[in-house]
Amino acid sequence: MSVFWRLVLAYYIVAALCYNRTFFAWRARKPLLAAGVQFAAYFGLGAILTWNYLYIPWPLLGLWPLPAVACLAVFALFETANNNMLVYRSGQERHHALTFVVHDVLALLFILLCAPTRVLYETGNLVADPWIIFFVGALVVTKMFNVFIYMVEQDLYGRGYPTIDESFVTMLMRLIFYLIVLLPGWRWVIWFLVWLWACQMARRNRLMDFSRFALYFSAFGATAVGFLTKWSFFLQV
């Protein structure tokens, strides 16, 4: 499953760069150029991260074995089209969160169906690259959770787009929760409670401006992703 996790990492790196209001506005003005940039980013990062696996054929949608480069090009084309169709569009009044979830599920399903499972057959291990999974988890709890929380709150009460300061602070908060879970043994529980209490106090005293939903989803969502990452490291022991 090495190719799967490496393509997922490429997908989330591009998402971290492109999921913002500046890129969406630029894409609206120059859609063809933006599509070309996205295609090149997906293809280039995917090729770099899967360089050692480009010599074997990849199964397109699990059905047709194709040269890896051709399958990678289809992946980049699909993700570019998927972003243009399903990422937040101005004028959309509801279902922002559902749009985001559907977009992500389609992307991950497409990657799963196109990734060769040679390493799985050889090792019997779904998580042959724990450090790749670590970086995937870090991007999920920072940027992807940021976008999801914003879209949920926009659905609930039409909140405005988060400022750069708010985005940075909340992403850092979730990253710390994520890293705390990776501590050995059970000491992470104490630090988790301490950090949760500190975040609650900061919110109550208006030192950090985010909703109660954002706080608790951040805490427990980042913890869940941290557990999955920790599990991937334990499987290598």
- In terms of DSSP H, where are the helices of the chain? 2-18, 21-29, 31-49, 68-86, 96-114, 118-123, 130-139, 145-157, 164-181, 187-204, 212-234
Alpha carbons 149 and 66: distance in angstroms, whole number: 38
Contact, 47 vs 179, CB < 8 A?
no
The contacts of residue 212 (CB under 8 Å, 6+ apart) are 203
| pTM listed for this prediction | 0.87
d(CA 11, CA 86): 15
Summarize pLDDT for 33-64 with one digit per residue, the tens: 988 999 999 999 999 998 888 888 888 877 77
Closest CA to 72 of 44, 95, 38: 44
pLDDT by residue (tens digit) across 100-124?
Answer: 888 899 999 989 888 886 544 444 4
pLDDT tens readout for residues 173-201: 999 999 999 988 888 999 999 999 999 99
